[in-house]
Structure formats: structure tokens, C-alpha cells
Amino acid sequence: MEFKTILFYLFSAITVVAALRVITARNPVHAALFLVLAFFNVAGLWMLLQAEFLALALIMVYVGAVMVLFLFVVMMLDINIERMRQGFWNNLPLGALVGLLMVGEMAVVLSGRYFGLANLPPQNMPANYSNTKELARLLYTDYAYPFEIASVILLVAIIAAVMLTLRGRKDNKAMHSSDQIAVKAKDRMRLVKMSPEVELPAVAAKEGE
Amino acid sequence: MEAIVLPFVEGLLGPLWPAVKPVWPLVWTLVKIVLILSPLLLSVAYLTFWERKVIGWMQVRIGPNRVGPWGLLQPIADGLKLFFKEVLFPTAADKKLFVLGPVMAIAPALAAWAVIPFSPGWVLANVDAGVLYLLAISSVGVYGIIVAGWASNSKYPFFGAMRASAQMISYEVSMGLGLITVLMVSNSLNLTEIVGAQSKGQFAGWGLGVFSWNWLPLLPMFAVYLISGVAETNRAPFDVVEGESEIVAGHMVEYSGMAFAMFFLAEYANMILISAMTSIFFLGGWLSPFGFLQQIPLVGVAFSNGFHWMAFKMAAILFFFLWIRATFPRYRYDQIMRLGWKVFVPLTLVWILVVGVWMMTPLTIWK
């Protein structure tokens, strides 16, 4: 058996186990961390397919950013696990349907040769073949407009998400840097002039004698 | 380097060589890993010592000077002390994740060194997607802090974890965008080729390589990258994650002994990593700044390209890290976020456009 084959089975076994643990783990934080493990192993599988850009982008975007924010939210929530499990049987039919659909699609893709869909490029690439460069060339030349349009749609989605959640609160205490920089010493401190000694009242002066 | 070692090993093993041959690539990779990691861990130990000395001098103190000559054995003593201390587990902690936290902190800090070239050919894995690999690995580093903070099941570590996740994601963005200009001008993602691209140009031809490196044409990006690097490693003045006066030590509050030392190792290994990356991306790696001085007899050798320049540049950047720690007060949290998102990100986006236009005009200096 080739070393690559051993690696493939190792990565896939860990991916399957981690993916199962994502849905069976009782603690949501553990589930999120198992999802991270699954992502890592999928990245390893993609690396075996010589798709190094996709593999590293998966780690950078999903593991490095999306899952960090996901964990951030999951940790903040005080999740009642018992209540989350209540709807299991009600939601099962819909979930099973979606699952079956996905299995069917995967089957069509994986057995593409049987369905006459196999249109994969030859596997034997020259030594200086760079997946990253090829992807960039396609994205920025042949598919430049679709790529730009997709980016703009994403940008619109980002701005919309911010606008939907942005409510100006009346008790907002956020400070503005420009106001802070514009502050002069006069605005913050009042110098009071007073004489260093105070004349004692006449009565006190008499007692002192 | 393998070409020099291989005949020697073959001769040494003699008849046993055929038995070793199938596993030789594995053995050789392990040897290279040891050759990279042991000097790295030694540098980490002496970086802590240097830091204490430098900060001491800046504050008109002497710094550690009791253990060994000039206090040189201090980091060894510290290490031994931490090694023999007990690792305590808080009762309400999530035990498995509590152990996993320090491991997840140190693993990316060491794994990133796989693609760092120290000199032409002196690299564990000379991969084409080196920059991508570094970005991917360094984005994973935050997990150690988050997991440790959550698993401790305590207030201050949790605050530290939340601050860390927000801060490190913010500054990764500006670091990544800053690197885009570097790969635009170097036309490669391979670290060795990025250094090679900096050895070309008008000034390099005159032997004044220092003006051909990326730091000069990409000066704003150099500044952004350096400052983001400080924020990314949670060093002062961006050390709100472990701000002593606010949240004691952040995610490390509940850790003791070797588990605590792992976070320290990770932090300092990351500092050295950032300094190596900055010298490769912006300061010409192992290239000599004044190549024309090579003609001087005897001392000229020092002005040829080589690892010593890389080490010198890394040391200079590390000194910068220590220097600003002793100089600046800690940033306020909202100011950190403002600097990352409202200053650095727009600046990098504009500079990508500027460099792109510059490269397309006849004035381009990158051919």
C-alpha cells in the first residue's frame, strides 16, 4: 500500500468520526471543536488531491475565522441541552429528507463515471503545476465578471447584516476618537486662584495669645 | 545539505544501509525538524532572559544577574522550576480541553517553522504555497487561548479568551491584506522566491541591496505588518488578552507548572516567527544590505549573503518588540479595535490599489 493511501484512510477515518461526534456530542463547545477537527482532516484530503489552495483556504477561512466566531457565540450562550433535544422527533422527517437528498447528490458526483458525468482533468500534472496559480488565472480572466458580481453580492449581504442589527442606543457610551483628541486641558481642568494663607478670624487669634 | 550528509551516513552504516534506505526520508525529515526546533527553543529561553535584561536597563535596573555568570543560567533555572511544579486542575474545569489548550497554543507556533527558509536551500519544506500555509497556520493559533479560557471555567480566563478571539481575528485581516502587496510584487507564494525577488533592482545592482528590499516601496505595509504582528502575538502595548492590571493573566490564570510554560513557549516562539516572517517578506531575508562592501579584504566576508543577516534582522525586530513593551502604555480595548478595522484595513486596501496601478504603469520597478 502506498503511503498516500494510508494517509487517505487516516484522514477519512478521523473526518467521519469527528463528523459523527459533532452531532452526538452533548456539549455544544465540544461539538464545535469536533467540527474544527473535521475541517482539518478534509483539508488534508484536499491536499492529497493536489488542491493546496482550497485546503489552505479552508483552514484559513473556516477554521481560522468562521469557527472562532462560532465558538465565541456558543461559549457566550447558556444552552439548555435538555430543551434542545426535545424537538428531535418532530424535526427528524425534514432532516432525514435533506440528508437523503445530500446522499443522492454525493452518489451522483462520486459515481460520475457511471452516469457519464466524469469530466475530470488528467491526474498527472507537470511538476511545476500550481493549483493556486491556475485557480487565480481562471477567476481573474475567464470568470472575472461572475467573480466580481459574487463578491459584490457578498458585500451587500455584509452591509445588510450590519444595518439590520445596528440600532442607535440612547445610553451608548462609546467614545469618539476625534472628540477625544480635540480636548484641551482647559475643558477638563479648572484652575482656581487662592491665596496660600488664610487670615484667622479675630476670636481665634485672641485665644492663641 | 542532504547531498553532504547522505554519503557520510551510508559509509557509517555500511551493510546496514539497505535496511535503513526505505525509511531514510522520514529519518532525514525528523533530523531536520530537530535541527530547527532545538535552536528555536534555546532562542525562546534566551529571549526571555534578554527581555528581562533590556527592560531592566530601560528602567535603570540591572535585571537578572544572580544565576550563573552575568545571570546567563537564569532561563535554565526558570525552566527547571516550572518543569518540577505541579499542574493543578480546577475542580470545575473541563479536564480534557484544559490539557488540550496549551497543546493547541504551541502546536501552530512550531508547525509554522516548516516552511521558513533560513538561507537558500535551508528549509524543511520548500513548498509553493508557503505564504498561504503561514497564514493558515497562524490563524489556528487563537484556538489555544480560546480553549484554555473556556476550559478553565473561571471569569478572568473567559474574558481573556473573548478578547483574544476578537483581537486576533481583526489583526489577521490587516496582516493578510498587507501580504497581498508582497506577493503582487514578488509574483510568488514561495518564501525562497519572495526573498529572491528582493535581490533584483537598480540599487541591488549597485550593491546597495538594502534599498531594493520590499520595506521601502511598501513602507506603509511594512508598518502595518509589524504593528499587526505585535497585536497578533498579544504583546504590549496590545496585551489586553493578559492585561495584568485588568484580568490578572487572562487565559493563563488557572494554569501552573509546565502547562503554563507551554503558553509562554508559544508566545515567544510566535514572536520569533513573526520576526522571521517580517525579515523574509520586507527585509530581504538572508540578503546582505551592503553587498558592495564584500570587496574589502578579511571583513568583506561578513557582507556576503547568508544566514547571519537573517539572524541579525530577526534579532533587530525582536529588540523592537521588547523596546516598545518597555516604552508604551497599554492600548484601551476599543482603540485596538479602531486601529485594526478603521485604520489598517482601509490603508492596506488603498495600498493594494496603489501598488496594482504602479505595477501597470511604465514607472514600475518590478519587472
Which pLDDT score is estimated for A81?
65
CB–CB of B146 and A132 under 8 A?
no
Distance from CA of B16 to the nearest CA of A (A): 23
Give the pLDDT confidence of B234-258 residue by residue, as tens digits. 887 888 877 777 788 788 888 888 8
Least confident of A149-163, A187-201, B168-182: A187-201
Distance CA(A183)–CA(B92), nearest Å, equals 48
Using CA atoms, how far residue B4 sits from B7, B9, B10, B118, B123, in Å, is 7, 9, 11, 18, 15
Give the pLDDT confidence of B261-283 residue by residue, as tens digits. 998 889 899 999 999 999 999 98
Cβ B204 vs Cβ B291: under 8 Å: yes
Least confident of A125-134, B20-29, B228-237: A125-134
Cell triple for B157: 480566563
Distance CA(B125)–CA(B115), nearest Å, equals 5
Distance CA(B24)–CA(B28), nearest Å, equals 6
Question: Is the preceding peptide bond at B15 cis, omega within 30 degrees of 0?
Answer: no
Distance CA(B274)–CA(B330), nearest Å, equals 20
Q: Is B255 helix (H, G, I), strand (E, B) or coil?
A: coil
The residue in chain B having the minimum alpha-carbon distance to the alpha carbon of residue A71 is B146
Distance CA(B332)–CA(B335), nearest Å, equals 5
* Chain B residue numbers touching A75 (CB-CB < 8 A): 146, 150, 158, 161-162
The contact set of B with A (CB < 8 A) is 94, 97, 127-129, 132-133, 135-137, 139-140, 142-143, 146-147, 150, 158, 161-162, 165-166, 168-169, 172, 176, 189, 334-335, 338
For testing contact with chain A, the best of B98, B139, B341 (most A CBs within 10 A) = B139
The residue in chain A having the minimum alpha-carbon distance to the alpha carbon of residue B101 is A33
Distance CA(B322)–CA(A114), nearest Å, equals 63
Q: Give the CA count within 13 Å in the CB-facing half-sphere of B284.
A: 24
Q: Is B297 helix (H, G, I), strand (E, B) or coil?
A: coil
Q: Select, from the ranges A114-118, A125-129, B22-26, B316-320, the one with the highest average predicted confidence (pLDDT).
A: B316-320
Distance CA(B230)–CA(B336), nearest Å, equals 12
Mean pLDDT along residues B119-140: 85
Which residue from A72, A132, A174 is facing B129, i.e. has the nearest CB? Answer: A132
What DSSP string describes B114-138? GG--SSTT--S---TTHHHHHHHHH
A-B C-beta contacts closer than 8 Å: 72
Mean pLDDT along residues B44-54: 92
Residue A34 has pLDDT above 70, yes or no: yes
Distance CA(B152)–CA(B252), nearest Å, equals 9
Q: At what angle do helices B142-151 and A28-48 cross, to 10 degrees?
A: 160
Distance CA(A20)–CA(A42), nearest Å, equals 14
Give the pLDDT confidence of B61-101 residue by residue, as tens digits. 988 888 888 888 888 998 899 889 888 888 888 888 888 88
CB–CB of B132 and A130 under 8 A?
no
Which pLDDT score is estimated for B167?
86
Q: Which residue has the cell 478571539?
A: B165
CB–CB of A59 and B97 under 8 A?
no
Mean pLDDT along residues B44-48: 91
The residue in chain A having the minimum alpha-carbon distance to the alpha carbon of residue B339 is A177
Cβ B232 vs Cβ B168: under 8 Å: yes
Mean pLDDT along residues A87-94: 82
The sign one gets for the Cα dihedral B139, B275, B345, B217 is: negative
Give the pLDDT confidence of A138-184 residue by residue, as tens digits. 888 889 999 999 999 999 999 999 888 887 777 777 777 788 888 88
Give the pLDDT confidence of B133-166 residue by residue, as tens digits. 998 888 888 888 888 888 888 888 888 888 888 8
Which residue from A27, A33, A72 is facing B162, i.e. has the nearest CB? Answer: A72
CB–CB of A64 and B129 under 8 A?
no
Who's near B181: CB < 8 A, 6+ residues apart?
Answer: B218, B221, B348, B351, B352, B355
The contact set of A with B (CB < 8 A) is 27, 29-30, 33, 36, 52-53, 56-57, 59-60, 63-65, 68-69, 71-72, 75-76, 130, 132, 174-175, 177
Distance from CA of B169 to the nearest CA of A (A): 6
Residue A33 has pLDDT above 70, yes or no: yes
More confident site: B359 or A114: B359
Distance CA(B87)–CA(B99), nearest Å, equals 10
Q: At what angle do helices B74-84 and B257-281 cross, to 10 degrees?
A: 140
Return left, alpha or beta for A100; rule: phi > 0 is left, psi -120 to 50 is alpha, else beta.
alpha
Which pLDDT score is estimated for B353?
92
Who's near A14: CB < 8 A, 6+ residues apart?
Answer: A37, A38, A41
Distance CA(A31)–CA(A20), nearest Å, equals 9
CB–CB of A36 and B143 under 8 A?
yes
The mean predicted confidence, pLDDT, of chain A is: 82
Cβ B238 vs Cβ B167: under 8 Å: yes
For testing contact with chain A, the best of B132, B137, B232, B251 (most A CBs within 10 A) = B132
Residue A120 has pLDDT above 70, yes or no: no
CB–CB of B132 and A53 under 8 A?
yes
Alpha-helical (H) ranges within chain B are 2-13, 17-20, 24-58, 74-84, 95-111, 130-140, 142-151, 155-186, 191-197, 202-205, 219-232, 244-247, 257-281, 307-327, 333-338, 345-360
Least confident of A122-131, A156-165, B179-188: A122-131
CB–CB of A68 and B165 under 8 A?
yes
Give the pLDDT confidence of B281-330 residue by residue, as tens digits. 998 888 888 877 777 777 777 777 788 888 999 999 999 999 999 898 88
Residue B59 has pLDDT above 80, yes or no: yes
Who's near B109: CB < 8 A, 6+ residues apart?
Answer: B141, B265, B266, B269, B270, B273
Which pLDDT score is estimated for A119?
60
Residue B230 has pLDDT above 80, yes or no: yes
Cα–chain center distance at B4: 29
Cβ B94 vs Cβ B151: under 8 Å: yes
Distance CA(A182)–CA(A190), nearest Å, equals 17
Which pLDDT score is estimated for B287?
85
Using the CB atoms, write b or e for A158-167: b if 16+ within 10 Å. Answer: eeeeeeeeee
Residue A32 has pLDDT above 70, yes or no: yes
Distance CA(A88)–CA(A98), nearest Å, equals 15
The residue in chain B having the minimum alpha-carbon distance to the alpha carbon of residue A132 is B129
Give the pLDDT confidence of A69-90 residue by residue, as tens digits. 888 888 877 766 666 667 778 8
Residue A188 has pLDDT above 70, yes or no: yes
Cell triple for B170: 481583526
* Chain B residue numbers touching A177 (CB-CB < 8 A): 335, 338
Least confident of A45-49, B6-10, B80-84, B156-160: B6-10
The residue in chain A having the minimum alpha-carbon distance to the alpha carbon of residue B145 is A68
What DSSP string describes B145-182? HHHHHHHTTSHHHHHHHHHHHHHHHHHHHHHHHHHHHH
Q: At what angle do helices B24-58 and B74-84 cross, to 10 degrees?
A: 110
The residue in chain A having the minimum alpha-carbon distance to the alpha carbon of residue B149 is A75
Which pLDDT score is estimated for B361?
87
Using CA atoms, how far residue B189 sits from B55, B132, B274, B352, B367, in Å, is 37, 7, 17, 16, 17
